[in-house]
Amino acid sequence: MEHLWAGWRSAYVQGGDAHGGDDERPVPDIADGQTLFEAILHSGYPDRDTLILWRGERVFAMLNAFPYTSGHLMVLPMRAVEQLTELDEAEHAELWHGVRLATQAVEAAYAPHGINVGANLGRGAGAGIPDHLHVHVLPRWDGDTNFMTAIANTRVMPESLAATWERLHAAWPST
């Protein structure tokens, strides 16, 4: 699936700066035995640069860098595990608390018609990064698929990741 970024489009439609939102982000070094998400979490870069929206005690939330729709985020444990059954009770409870907070933020920021929540457990289930469990939360709207997706296997993203981060970060419920 290709992504056609038209991040200027949202600002233009809303009457703002048509050139806002630079999506260039630093790339963290991944140490041996470390997952991509652990490298991002412990990179030392500002959360805005790493797309991290929220940090709990055992769980964090971040934007998906290759979103299905604007507002697509992930909630994941800080400790890399592949399966839900590998979480301890505190991680499990905080993971689902984080999913609830993410859902509230998406509803407040985007007012979607619906929300998809799901996890692909293992490569066979479609996990792109199977070594670190993550739960996807993404807004959906009636008729949000179009000919670009169906015919050209391409998604048009009307909002930059920087603008999405700002929007969801501002809407994140206080805990």
Half-sphere exposure of 79 (CA within 13 A, CB side): 13
Active site residues per annotation: 134
* CA pair distance 53, 73, nearest whole angstrom: 9
**Contact criterion met (CB below 8 Å) for 47 and 25:** no
Residues in the chain: 175
Structure tokens at 25: 């982000």
Which among 47, 57, 49, 68 is positioned nearest to 120, based on CA atoms? 68
Alpha helix positions (H), the chain: 7-13, 36-41, 47-50, 89-110, 147-152, 161-171
